[in-house]
Amino acid sequence: MFAAPARIIFSFSSMEPLLLATNSPAAAANNSRQGRHRGDFIRPMAMSNSLLRNDFDLQEGLTDVQKILHQRQKNAREMMITIDNLKRLCIDHYFKEEIESVMSSTCMDLIHSDDLFDATLAFRLLREAGHDVSANDVSQRFTKDDSCEFKLPLSKDIRGLLSLHDMSHLNIGGEALLYKAKEFSSKHLASAIRYLEPSLAEYVRQSLDHPYHLSLMQYKARHHLTYLQSLPIRDTAVEKLAVTEFQLNKLMHQKEIQEIKRWWMDLGLVQEIPIVRDQVLKWYMWSMTTLQGYSFSRYRVEITKIIALIYVVDDIFDLVGTLEELSHFTEAVKVWNTAAADSLPSYMRSCYKALYTITNEIADMAKQEHGLNPVNHLRKAWVVLFDAFMVEAKWLTMDQDVTKVLKH
């Protein structure tokens, strides 16, 4: 018999998530409702012996938001706005089934609307979900008959302009009206900022400086939440869930960074080669921004290790090794055998061992999860990188200007 899933209690006063066992049959029945994998909702966190005040039950929070989605099914605009807020707050992954079940009908109803906000938001949500929708079919209703210029009265519709601006960044190439949409919305939003109330002005400024589709989603989520909290009518259940999600992500990232720091210090390369860069947080930022979500936690850690080693190898080639040593280093990588590194200097052997070990660990992980061992592909990727570094090292040794070589 399967164990009942856990429940997370989140304390706003302590910002500490607490993992509690749920043995309730009712909870188990609810977890299996509609075939949902409730494990997607659960994040393993540290145990705690006591609950503090202002506790937030994640499972109850999810249920509260599900009720909101259910209540708004009959109002296409409100439903669409709610879905958009969930996406912008990075909590839509909890409600994939609910969103997918209403996406086509809700958005298709509004994409033909004569309201700028409704039509552009419907278009954006559909295109984000992979639906084949035409930007021209949407935009042409809001442009002058004899040109591709947007109608001037639309410049007063701030909400519509914000949505048009978001839509303009989903250009898949050759969509001239979306270029016009970006130009028109940016111009009139910028000129309107001075006349808007402070919270809306700040939101518009953020949208122009850091467009939704060109920014880190978790970064934008904080600004969107701040804006929602300034509105007279609020969805407190959505806001509480967003705050909880943000804090859980924060704790998860802190845990990952600590794990990487321990690995880095245990590796000892920064002590053995003092000149190499020691930038754990910077390296982690690469994987954190490209792989988001709890399910990618292990991948973020492993990829950060690879990034760290790339920086170490780069520093060895640029600042430490002689041309002969670097040549032997490169050949050892091509052989891909720890014995091949025996003739290398001590610091190179240490780097090679770390590179070899981490690469094989990642390959083993991929084999266990997907049934295929990619070690040869990973090894070849290292060879390509080392060959490139070797070419650069030869250029520098010959005192040639790299820019001039590239131009020729």
Q: Residue 146 has what pLDDT?
A: 67
pLDDT at 74: 87
Looking at 9-13, 113-117, 217-221, 226-230, which range is the least confident one? 9-13
Average pLDDT of the residues in 112-138:
91
Predicted local distance difference test score (pLDDT) of residue 405 = 58
Alpha-carbon distance 213 to 134, whole Å?
A: 18
* Mean of all residue pLDDT scores within the chain: 84
For residue 173, what pLDDT is reported? Answer: 85
- Residue 8: strand pairing partners: 19
Report pLDDT digits (tens) over 225-240.
Answer: 999 999 999 999 999 9
pLDDT of 293 strictly over 90? no
Whole-prediction pTM value? 0.77
Instruction: Report, as an integer, the average pLDDT of 315-323.
Output: 93
CA distance 267 to 357: 11
Q: What domains can you pick out in the chain, each with its CATH number?
A: 57-241 (1.50.10.130), 268-404 (1.10.600.10)
In this prediction, residue 406 carries a pLDDT of 60
| Lowest mean pLDDT across 3-17, 90-104, 203-217 | 3-17
Per-residue confidence band for 104, with pLDDT thresholds at 50, 70 and 90? confident
Q: Would you say residue 11 has pLDDT above 80?
A: no
